[in-house]
Amino acid sequence: MASAASLKSALWDLKVRLQFTGWLQYLPNALVAVVLGALAAVGWLVGAYPALLFWTPLALGSLLVANLAFDLVTVKLGLRPAERTPARLDPLDTFDLMRARVSCRSFQSRDLTPEHRHELMALVARQVEPAGQLGQRPIRFEYIAAPLTVWPVVGAREFLVAIAPREYDRMAVIDVGRSLQKVVHHATGMGLATCWIGPGADHESILRHLGPRFDPERDHIICACAVGYASKFKPAVLRLIQRAQRNRLPIGQLFFAAPDLSAPLDPEAPPFDAFGRCYEVCQWAPSSFNGQTTRCAAVVDGQGQLTRFDFFATTDSHFYAPVALGIWLANWEMGCEAAKLPGHFEVLGPEERGATKAPELPHYDISWVREAG
């Protein structure tokens, strides 16, 4: 048992070392190429069915080696042609802009232009103002211009680091997700690429670059967000990760027409249809490992009027689930504003929600209460 535990620990340490030295994303390609090379060697020795046992694995392995070499030269070594600065996406409406945003896995080597950096930081300053938060504790986003140690992103050299009080406050973590998502949304309109980074951020690297801006007695790093210009050059493994994370649960598994989350919501049935694409932009909101840990229940009164939406987290995570819920709140809020549906966020007690015997999970966090208008 002890030797098995030691082996597991050694493998984990190796994985982390490869991850944070920027080599892990190239390893799968290399391993598969080696396996195919070995199969080709066995096929050559066997001598039978050469097209299947020798030439096929040899050809596939050669293609992988060529792809690996291309990725190493263009991404790892950065020897690639200059790429254009992306155009702004301001003409898109709120919903199309939210849907246009994707997590960027590979960034260009250029810095943000002074104009883009100024516009971005002005927005950051507005989004962390205490008056705009749901909770009572301060949050902030520190800007770092340095190639932090992160995974699986490559080429990122500018980041926003989200910091909340060291003493745990769930609403402050939710505020991080909500406020930073609004920054991300605006950055998308500017033509910038972004990537939320939670477990893949090396905190030692972040702390080293924050320096005196971080007080370990008062501050806690929640997550980081890479920002810059998207590059079309990216390792094959990251392309596969991006494709895998394009899948989302259907709206009926995320939104419900009952406070106890027992009945799926039909977004095309009244009175829920009034909220149109608000459901869609929450469905496609980013979350750690694409976990989609947020759920929402629509509440209708005795007269059939939709009065509020309750938001829940499905796991007991203290950080990633509240951040994901905050991202949902931002998308919901921006969607409702675009659709001219007035309302406000409010934390309701069990009696107000009629949920005095609610289970621990899913965990209720906040409601969006509809206003007349």
pLDDT in tens, 112-160: 999 999 999 999 999 999 999 999 999 999 999 999 999 999 999 999 9
- What span, in angstroms and rounded, lies between the C-alpha atoms of 84 and 110? 10
Q: What is the C-alpha separation between 234 and 136, in angstroms, rounded?
A: 41
pLDDT at residue 10, rounded to an integer? 86
Q: Is 25 helix (H, G, I), strand (E, B) or coil?
A: helix
pLDDT tens sequence across 180-215: 999 999 999 999 999 999 999 999 999 999 999 999
Q: What is the DSSP string of 79-127?
A: -----PPPPP-TTS-HHHHHHH--B--BB-SSPPPHHHHHHHHHHHHHH
Residue 1 pLDDT exceeds 80: no
pTM of the model: 0.94
Residue pair 147/200 in contact by the 8 Å Cβ criterion:
no
DSSP code, position 233:
-
- Predicted confidence (pLDDT) per residue in 257-314, tens digit: 999 999 999 999 999 999 999 999 999 999 999 999 999 999 999 999 999 999 999 9
Q: 10 Å Cβ neighbour count for 331?
A: 26
Q: pLDDT value at position 15?
A: 84
Residue 322: the pLDDT is: 99
Is residue 358 predicted with pLDDT exceeding 90? Answer: no
Mean pLDDT taken over the chain: 95
